[in-house]
Amino acid sequence: MSSLAKELMMREISREFENNPYAFILNFEGLSVADISDFRRTVGKVASRSLVVKHSLAKKVFAHQNCSTAEQFLKGQILVTFGKKEPQAISKTIVEFSKTHEKLVPAGVIFEDQVYGQEFVKRLARLPSRQELLTQVAVRIKSPISGFVLTLGQMMRGLVCALHEVKKKKESQLQTA
């Protein structure tokens, strides 16, 4: 490969690292092209982009991005999946795909300029999504308000019943007098 091609590839990879706060590093030794395409289609719904990266280019980019400790994940063929939002959704998709395709192994992640290992990727996959967390917050906020409204409604019904009984009692007193 010519040095111009390598330089262009390095710029492209560096641009992806700069534009995306999350970079999941995966090993895919022995995975077929069809499986890689299937993975890209699957993860493409939640991630920005997935690139197959050579070790030498990855080392240069890692050094340029001040995360050279990520070099520990460079074993075999590597695929880097970039994401801008919902890292737990990307992680969940990667972990689920790796369950059915054992040759695809999540090695680590560069998460907001910090390098984490495989265990972090798996823990991240277990976290609820942003939408699930917002739903939980809405339910918890709504619950006390609903209880308060129900209590006020019961008090109002009790007051109406008491007033109705007072009215009946006064009417019966008027009729007997």
pTM of this prediction? 0.72
Per-residue pLDDT tens for 123-176? 888 888 778 888 888 888 877 887 788 888 888 888 888 888 888 888 888 787
Distances, alpha carbon 56 to alpha carbons 6, 75, 78, 99, in Å: 10, 12, 11, 29
* Strand partners of residue 50: 81
The amino acid sitting at 156 is: M
Residues 52-82 pLDDT 10s: 888 888 888 888 878 778 888 888 888 899 9
Cα(76)–Cα(41) distance, integer angstroms: 22
Q: 129 is written with which tokens?
A: 């999504």
CATH C-level class of 3-127: alpha beta
